[in-house]
Amino acid sequence: MAPARRCGGLEMARVVYVNGQYQPWDYARVHAEDRGFQFGDAVYEVCEVRNGHLIDETRHMDRLERSLGELGIPLPMSRGAWKRVMRETIRRNRVTDGMVYLQVSRGARPRDFIFSDAIDMMPTVVCLSRPVNRAKRDAAAQGIAVKSMPDIRWGRCDIKTVMLLASSLAKEAAKAEGGKEAWLVDEKGFVTEGASSNAWIIDKDGRLVTRPTNNEILRGVTRTTLIDLLKKEGLELVERAFTIEEAKKAREAFVTSAGAIVTPVIKIDETPVGNGAPGITASRLRELFHTVAECAAK
């Protein structure tokens, strides 16, 4: 078993599943002419691992299948096979609390924009798992600052593709100004979502506001599960777009994702949200989230 190593503050995966084989991290390779590498022609999922259990596995697998379907990439394996691969990857990486990452590309072939004539192409499948950085996760509960910037991504943000350059640059720009997340703003001035999370505010009347899902945002699994929790808690949900100006004046703001769970937003650009401390409702939803999320058998 390879020892745990760190890179940029992250504990690294030890073993990576690539196309049917578990490889030590240093040797985990895909082909140089993989379409994921050349065209961003690949989709992915990130699922939380908590106490060794996969959280909301069914919804993540549903979304993975939808993403593949939207791009016409064949399903590389059955749900049963995915389950086994994810659990074996978690086990080999000795992860109790962390995440599992799945990626499926259309496969490798001589570079060509057209792919429909390559009938024998096999999807490339990667699965890795690594522990959460506990210090980062605990710090997130204390709230994060977000920075607003233009949403320059493509028109199918509902598909979870690996074309994450715009999102990566947005997060780098946010980081350079002391933010942990970027809130992306459309041409009309409305927040679409975070670079890697869904964006929420709580208005003066205690209603939870988040943008409705369409091709402009990703339907977050955490967003969907949180909506289940809101119903249970009797909290009112309004699915509509909001501006940065409205968010700055909101009672509370927060983001959701498999990694962030529910993370309070305490500052937007230079403006503190509410009294500049994590909101009561966001903090409570963070605590309650796992009482409604699916917790799959190990």
Find the helix packing angle between 280-292 and 221-233, rounded to 10°: 100
Active-site residue, 160 included? yes
**Three-state secondary structure call for residue 216:** coil
Contact between 33 and 41 (Cβ < 8 Å): no
Is residue 166 close enough to count as binding ligand PMP by CB under 6 A? no
Q: Give the per-residue contact string, 180-209, with ligand PMP (x = CB under 6 A; - = no).
A: -------------x--xxx-----------
Give the nearest distance from C-beta 102 to ligand PMP in angstroms: 12
Is residue 229 close enough to count as binding ligand PMP by CB under 6 A? no
Is residue 171 close enough to count as binding ligand PMP by CB under 6 A? no
**Three-state secondary structure call for residue 92:** helix
Is residue 46 close enough to count as binding ligand PMP by CB under 6 A? yes
Is residue 223 close enough to count as binding ligand PMP by CB under 6 A? yes
46 or 277, CB closer to ligand PMP?
A: 46
Give 163-211 as a DSSP string.
--HHHHHHHHHHHHTT-SEEEEE-TTSBEEEESSSEEEEE-TTS-EEEP
Cα gap 97→102, rounded to integer Å: 17
Is residue 220 close enough to count as binding ligand PMP by CB under 6 A? yes
- Number of chain residues interacting with ligand PMP (CB under 6 A): 13
Among 265, 254, 249, 247, residue whose Cα is nearest residue 289: 254
193 or 252, CB closer to ligand PMP?
A: 193
Is residue 257 close enough to count as binding ligand PMP by CB under 6 A? yes
83, 136, 147, 160: which one is catalytic?
160
179 or 274, CB closer to ligand PMP?
A: 179
How large is the C-alpha radius of gyration of the chain? 19
CB under 6 A: which stretch of 107-115, 172-180, 256-264, 282-290 binds ligand PMP? 256-264
Is residue 67 close enough to count as binding ligand PMP by CB under 6 A? no
Cα gap 170→250, rounded to integer Å: 23
Contact between 133 and 9 (Cβ < 8 Å): yes
Using CB atoms within 10 A of its CB, is residue 294 exposed (0-12), middle (13-18) or buried (19+)?
middle
Give the nearest distance from C-beta 55 to ligand PMP in angstroms: 10
Is residue 256 close enough to count as binding ligand PMP by CB under 6 A? yes
257 or 281, CB closer to ligand PMP?
A: 257
Contacts of 236 (CB under 8 A, 6+ apart): 205, 206, 207, 208, 230
CB under 6 A: which stretch of 30-38, 168-176, 250-258, 276-284 binds ligand PMP? 250-258
Given candidates 127, 258, 268, 282, which one binds ligand PMP under the rule CB under 6 A? Answer: 258
Buried/exposed 191-226: b ≥16 CB within 10 Å, e otherwise: bbbbbbbbbbbbbeeeebbbbebeebbbbbbbbbbb
Residues with catalytic function: 160
Contact residues for ligand PMP, defined by CB under 6 A? 46, 193, 196-198, 218, 220-223, 256-258
